[in-house]
Amino acid sequence: MGAAFLAGLSTGFWEGTAELRAMRERDDHFRPAMIEAEREEKLANWHAAVSRVMIHE
């Protein structure tokens, strides 16, 4: 959402940050709940998947 807000500001779609603040319905923050071991396993699997599709010269 941040990238979209910045793009809209830079193109003049929104007049200013006050307009963006008014559009925010919630002020929630992301709080990760995954345990570290599970996160590490998923990240390792993601790295393995990426390496399988990379072109190696």
Using alpha carbons, select from 13, 27, 38 the residue that is nearest to residue 5. Answer: 13
**pLDDT tens, per residue, the chain with 57 residues:** 889 989 999 999 988 988 888 887 766 778 889 999 999 999 999 999 999 998 866
Distance of CA 10 to the CA centre of its chain: 20
Distance of CA 21 to the CA centre of its chain: 19
**Predicted local distance difference test score (pLDDT) of residue 57:** 64
The answer to whether the predicted template modeling score (pTM) of the entire model surpasses 0.95 is no
Q: How far apart are CA 30 and CA 16, in angstroms?
A: 25
